[in-house]
Amino acid sequence: QLQLVESGGGLVQPGDSLRLSCVLSGAALEFYAVGWFRQVPGKEREGVACISSTDGRTEYSESTKGRFTISRDNAQNTVYLQMNSLNAEDTAVYYCAADTFMYGISPYGYDYWGQGTQVTVFS
């Protein structure tokens, strides 16, 4: 079974940076597109960034582009989310998701999800 495990979350101050990791097991990462999503209580899960399985094409949400960078290391079966210039609005549980189709930053359609990692930006 395909599994995803996120890590790297924590408590930071505004302006700080964090690097999240998503490790895939049970399949080869090179065949999967991966997206990062986040959710806060009372709100729907929203897309943050995604990266394709073939040409490395990326997409970002309007609020994160220019600050966040998604990347992949197929040899390590790991996808990263480098988050810079964090602010309080970035506080959320961050999830990674994978699928053989490129669904973009919409959370609907992805078949495989991790359990999430908490990111808290405290001012």
Greatest CA separation found in the chain?
Answer: 40
- What's the average model confidence in pLDDT over 44-66? 94
115 phi, psi to nearest 5 deg: -90, -15
Helix (H, G, I), strand (E, B) or coil at 75: helix
Tokens matching residue 95: 């999830």
Percentage above 90 pLDDT, the chain:
91
- What's the average model confidence in pLDDT over 18-43? 96
Confidence of residue 56 (pLDDT cuts 50, 70, 90): confident
Quick: pLDDT tens for 73-92.
999 999 999 999 999 999 99
- What's the average model confidence in pLDDT over 15-30? 97
Q: Which residue has the tokens 């490395």?
A: 56
Confidence of residue 114 (pLDDT cuts 50, 70, 90): very high
pLDDT for res 55: 82
